[in-house]
Chains A and B, each alone.
Chain A
Amino acid sequence: MTDKAAIRFQGARVVYPNGAVGLAGVDLDIKPGEFVVVVGSSGAGKSTLLRSVNGLTPLTSGSITVGGQPVPKKEGRELRRLRAGVGMIFQDFRITRRLSVMTNVLVGRVAHVPGWRAMLNLWPAADREIAFRALERVSIADKAWVRAGDLSGGQQQRVGIARALAQEPAIILADEPVASLDPVTTHQIMRDLVRINQELGITTLVNLHFLDLARRYGQRIIGLKAGELVYDGTADSVTQADFKNIYGRDPDAGDLLDESEAS
């Protein structure tokens, strides 16, 4: 389990077909159970970094290993097996609004049950149990049979988290999970993620836009700038100068969720 949760980037480089550089050769070691926050200005390559871990964005060169296994560059059985152990949470939730909350969470089990069962929506009792536990962990088990689209934004993101948890993953990737939520919900979701990381020991990578959130919830902070790793340190040791280096300018109120925390 712990071994499966380590991620190692070696010269990881992503160049998009249009020539845009997503990652410009990143070397990075993430230890099992770490809670890592990735910061950087828009276009710095945060999403690319996360998406390369589960192969949604294939590397152009270099390599990434997850639990010692290299991430396959082509879609296929190998890559699906790797993804089964890596949960992903998205800024825009990406749940199917017309399906029930329960079905959305069971989607997290697709790679763990025989294909025909998943196809026919016939889930083994054990998998239903896992899905329910995942919902309980984010406190929305009471909504299990509600149409997912009828929930509030924060609740929908919890469904997204529960779906990731239902995978019983070794790693969770969260790409700006709170960017479309209000401040109160933002803190609740961030606390959920930290708690899950602590209770289950799931290695967690979170992209964040707000500096104060990064400092408050991150153990380790990674700074990206134009696809390059420009900062790597603990949340306590990060300084104003470091942020200036990452963002290329002094942080202002717009970079903070709660302006009151700026001073």
Chain B
Amino acid sequence: MNEASRAAPGRPLRPARNWTLIIAAVGAVSLMTWWSARGIGFSLVELACNLPGGRRLLVESWPPDWSFFPRLLGPLLETLQIAVVGTVIGGILAIPIAVLAARNLTPGFLVWFVDRNFMNILRTLPDLFWAMLFAAAVGFGPIAGALALTVFTIAVISKLWSESLEAIDMAVPEAVRAAGGSWLAMLQFGAIPQALPHYVSYALYAFELNVRASMILGLVGAGGIGMVLETQRSTFEYPRVTLIVLSVLVLVLIIEKISESIRRRLV
């Protein structure tokens, strides 16, 4: 320790922590939590009033009313149909929207800017809001549901896929362009083939989400099993509600397993 080369390099002081940032972060989180808890806490009074009745309802909801099952088959099938239609139309419409939103492929800044913000706004509204809107526009029924899922699909696929498109290797597209190919030729032969596996994967993912979503669209009148759920729920037929929830879960899990196994084979 007494060698000159290693003689006390001086102990640095521990740098002061960024207290402003720490206090700001902790303060913001605590404040948000306190504010939210208080806002929600009002319902704690209701909790006390409702508890006895609620418990009875819960006890009643088991076992499920199996005899109701045959009447679910039609709506369950309709639910899947809604999901298929929404995924296919939305999946097709998502292609141009994603391409125009990819920085490396878009033909111009203005198009890119408008398209990207359009995409972001689509993403802000939840699936059920679209369902309510379309139900108001075209009337209650599965068509409203399919349209809602179309929009939802566009939002999901275009966002994810435009990111994949931005990550492609630009050598081939640029070569197509250099050889005198048009913008469309560049897309068709240079850009899209590279990101095609991603597209298929995201489309399947969107289909999974859509099957899930289609189950509840009916709560606002947009067709499928959810409409049955809504009538049984509002009349407090909880044994039937339980049956519906169970069959929905099983169907969703089956579809997800199939879709997952296809996706795994793709990637």
Contacts and interface: CB of A to CB of B under 8 A. Distances in A.
Secondary structure at the A interface, as helix, strand, loop or mixed, is helix
Which range contains the number of B residues in contact with the other chain?
under 10
A139 B6 contact: yes
B55 interface: no
Contacts of B12: 141-142, 144-145
Interface string B1-16: 1000010111110110
Contact of A145 (B8, B10, B15): B15
A259 interface: no
Contacts of A145: 12, 14-15
A9 interface: no
16 contacts: A136-B1, A136-B6, A136-B8, A136-B11, A137-B1, A139-B9, A141-B9, A141-B10, A141-B11, A141-B12, A142-B10, A142-B12, A144-B14, A145-B12, A145-B15, A199-B1
Interface string A209-248: 0000000000000000000000000000000000000000
Interface of B: 1, 6, 8-12, 14-15
Contacts of A139: 6, 9
Interface centre among A102, A136, A137 (most CB of B within 10 A): A136
Contacts of B14: 102, 144-145
Nearest to B9: A142
Report, nearest first, the 6 A-B pairs whose CB atoms are least far apart: A142-B9, A139-B6, A145-B15, A145-B14, A141-B11, A141-B9
Contacts of B8: 136
Given A141-B9, A142-B10, A145-B12, 4 more contacts: A141-B10, A141-B12, A142-B9, A142-B12
A168 to B, nearest CB: 16
Interface string A242-256: 000000000000000
Nearest to B14: A145
Contacts of B9: 136, 139, 141-142
A: contact size bracket: 10 to 19
Contacts of A199: 1
Interface of B is mostly: loop
Nearest to A132: B11
Nearest to B15: A145
A132 to B, nearest CB: 6
A120 to B, nearest CB: 16
A80 B31 CA distance: 42
A132 B6 CA distance: 14
Contacts of B6: 136, 139
A144 B9 CA distance: 11
A145 B15 CA distance: 7
Interface in A114-153: 132, 136-137, 139, 141-142, 144-145
Interface string A85-110: 00000000000000000100000000
Contacts of B1: 136-137, 199
A136 B9 CA distance: 8
A118 B8 CA distance: 28
Contacts of B15: 145
Contacts of A142: 9-10, 12
B193 to A, nearest CB: 39
Contacts of A102: 14
A164 to B, nearest CB: 18
A199 B2 CA distance: 12
Nearest to A133: B1
Nearest to A102: B14
A145 B1 CA distance: 22
A76 B249 CA distance: 44
A199 B15 CA distance: 32
B221 to A, nearest CB: 51
A145 B8 CA distance: 16
B29 to A, nearest CB: 20
A199 B1 CA distance: 9
